[in-house]
Amino acid sequence: MRVTCPTCKKDIEWDTGNPRRPFCSERCKLIDLGAWANEEYRVPAEEVDPNDIPAGQEDPDAPRH
């Protein structure tokens, strides 16, 4: 199967022996990791009304008001 490297868009063979897949190289893998670290990518999330969270299931790391 052929796939496209998400970083450089190079067409590569999907090979289970490639520890960098879906990237074509370690360089492309690290560029992508750096983009995540710099918060260039974001996973969409929805706002949650605190009143909709059942008692006892609040986020223990959330700031208290």
Annotated binding site for Zn(2+): 5, 8, 24, 28
Which amino acid, residue 25? S
- Residue-by-residue DSSP string for 1-58: -EEE-TTT--EEE--TT-TTTTSSSHHHHHHHHHHHHTT-S--------GGGSPTT-S
Q: Which residues belong to the annotated binding site?
A: 5, 8, 24, 28
